[in-house]
């Protein structure tokens, strides 16, 4: 039995995991490696298989095929209670018939750890709930219950801590505060965290590495900045932030870049920032990387300029304005402009040109759904 009290995180490896449920496949050829001590986020829409992945790691589901390795040991066949892994459940799953303190001490007592009581008190103090030790979980607020669930898992110093959308039920302000606390605790205790979420901001903000999942597969994995700057598929470019996408046949190609033609405009991407260099491809740019101008700007070859188009919507969101610009034969483009007094003041219906630097374009490996490869 894996009762050894692991004080350092262990690395997790999923090898070729597949999980079939009656009627559908939740996970398909899933490979994943999480280095020890990392804060790793699995990000995806509901139904993408991220919770199934978590449950397989916890031992609550058995994979149809594949292996789960923890710290180099195969734990695929180990029962949940034999794994040095703890979970903070989405529903918290606190035991209603025990006090808060007994909830936190539960795991320690099962492993017959000496000083279970004292360690549990310390863990409760860590999440600043020491004064509520004698209460019942149902007497606490949602945020407090969440912290009890976190303390109950952390107190065991597991090799791997699983977080199943634990912040989903909290309101925005409390969630923000818990994100900061959670990250601080992870840095402090140095455990490996696997965090499952559908909240892209939460994932990017907290995780060292983010894996974006879609339809039972990992679409792309990497540091949040890399993922955001250089999405490789249409799904990732749209799920992680917003994207303006342009689809067209390649009309020009040189040593360092490729260009497509869309509605009479030339859109260029660096070769090393493009997944595909032949045929019909999709090129994207983030809304905040694009600018718009009332007159056609005179910019060099390192810029892309398209237009003119009509501003059909302006949204004020506080720090920035979001402009929706309809360019004939190209489509609608979103541009974010920070409200720092540098953007031109324009009204609805104004004709503008849109520009961005070539180095901010990214070329995707696939095409948006509904567009046929020629």
Partner 1 sequence: MAFAAFGGGAPAKDNSTKRKGGPIVLALILPGLIYLGLFFMTPLVSLLVTALESPDPSGAIGAYFYDLNFGNFATVLTDYMPQILRSFGYAFAATVFALAISYPLAYFIGVKLRTSPLIQRLMLTLVIAPFFISFLLRTIAWKQLLSDDSGFVSLLHSLHILAPSQFFLGSDAAVIFGLTYNFIPFMTLPLFTNLERLDTRLLEAASDLYASPNKVFRKVTLPLSMPGIISGTLLTFIPIAGDYVNASRDFLGSSKTSMIGTMVEADFLQNWNYPSASALSVLLMGLILVMVTVYVRRSGTEDLL
350 and 327 in contact (C-beta within 8 Å)? Answer: no
Note whether 65 binds partner 1 by CB under 8 A. no
Least gap, CB of 184 to partner 1 (angstroms)? 24
The H or E element that residue 126 is part of is helix 116-126
**Stretch of 83-91, 174-182, 225-233, 333-341 contacting partner 1, by CB under 8 A:** 83-91
- Selected from 152, 175, 293, 360, the binder of partner 1 by CB under 8 A is 152
Matching residue, tokens 């920070």: 338
**Stretch of 149-157, 198-206, 239-247, 345-353 contacting partner 1, by CB under 8 A:** 149-157
Q: Do β-strands 280-285 and 362-363 pair in parallel, antiparallel, or remain unpaired?
A: antiparallel
Note whether 256 binds partner 1 by CB under 8 A. no
CA 56, CA 313: separation in Å to the nearest integer? Answer: 46
Q: Which residues contact 238 (CB under 8 A, 6 or more apart)?
A: none
CA 310, CA 293: separation in Å to the nearest integer? Answer: 12
- Selected from 79, 253, 295, 315, the binder of partner 1 by CB under 8 A is 79
Note whether 106 binds partner 1 by CB under 8 A. yes
CB burial of 131-157 (b: ≥16 within 10 Å; e: otherwise) equals ebbeebbeebeebbbbbbbbbbbbbbb
Q: Per-residue contact track with partner 1, 4 to 43, x per CB under 8 A?
A: ----------------------------------------
Smaller CB separation from partner 1, 34 or 162: 162
CB burial of 247-262 (b: ≥16 within 10 Å; e: otherwise) equals bbebeeeeeebbbbeb
- Selected from 36, 93, 189, 365, the binder of partner 1 by CB under 8 A is 93
Note whether 87 binds partner 1 by CB under 8 A. yes
- Selected from 51, 144, 156, 265, the binder of partner 1 by CB under 8 A is 156
CA 142, CA 210: separation in Å to the nearest integer? Answer: 27
- Selected from 18, 47, 78, 111, the binder of partner 1 by CB under 8 A is 111
List residues binding partner 1 (CB under 8 A).
3, 58-60, 79-81, 85-87, 89, 91, 93-97, 106-107, 110-111, 136, 152-153, 156
């Amino acid at each position: 039995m894996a009762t050894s009290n692991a004080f350092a995180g262990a690395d997790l490896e999923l090898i070729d995991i597949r999980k079939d449920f009656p009627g559908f496949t939740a996970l398909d050829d899933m490979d994943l490696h999480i280095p020890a001590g990392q804060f790793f986020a699995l990000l995806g829409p509901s139904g993408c298989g991220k919770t199934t992945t978590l449950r397989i790691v916890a031992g609550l589901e058995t994979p149809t095929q594949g292996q789960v390795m923890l710290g180099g040991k195969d734990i695929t066949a180990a029962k949940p209670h034999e794994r040095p892994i703890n979970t903070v459940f989405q529903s918290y799953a606190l035991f209603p018939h025990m006090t808060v303190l007994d909830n936190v001490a539960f795991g320690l007592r099962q492993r017959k750890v000496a000083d279970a009581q004292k360690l549990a008190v310390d863990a409760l103090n860590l999440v600043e709930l020491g004064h509520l030790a004698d209460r019942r979980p149902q007497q606490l607020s949602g945020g407090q219950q969440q912290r009890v669930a976190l303390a109950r898992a952390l107190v065991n110093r597991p090799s791997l801590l699983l977080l199943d959308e634990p912040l989903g039920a909290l309101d925005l302000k409390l969630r923000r505060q818990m994100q900061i606390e959670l990250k601080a605790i992870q840095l402090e205790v140095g455990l490996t965290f696997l965090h499952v979420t559908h909240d892209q901001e939460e994932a990017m903000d907290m995780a060292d590495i983010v894996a974006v999942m879609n339809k039972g597969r990992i679409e792309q994995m990497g540091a949040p900045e890399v993922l955001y700057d250089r999405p490789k598929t249409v799904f990732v470019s749209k799920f992680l932030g917003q994207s303006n996408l342009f689809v067209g046949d390649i009309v020009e190609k040189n040593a360092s870049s490729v260009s497509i033609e869309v509605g009479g405009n030339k859109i260029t991407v660096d070769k090393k920032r493009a997944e595909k260099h032949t045929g019909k491809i999709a090129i994207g740019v983030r809304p905040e990387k694009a600018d718009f101008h009332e007159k056609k700007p005179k910019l060099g070859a390192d810029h892309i300029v398209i237009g003119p188009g009509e501003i059909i919507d302006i949204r004020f969101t506080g720090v920035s304005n979001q402009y929706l610009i309809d360019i004939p034969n190209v489509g609608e483009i979103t541009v974010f402009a920070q409200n720092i007094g540098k953007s031109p003041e324009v009204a609805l219906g104004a004709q503008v040109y849109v520009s961005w630097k070539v180095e901010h374009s990214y070329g995707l490996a696939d095409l948006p759904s509904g567009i046929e490869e020629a």
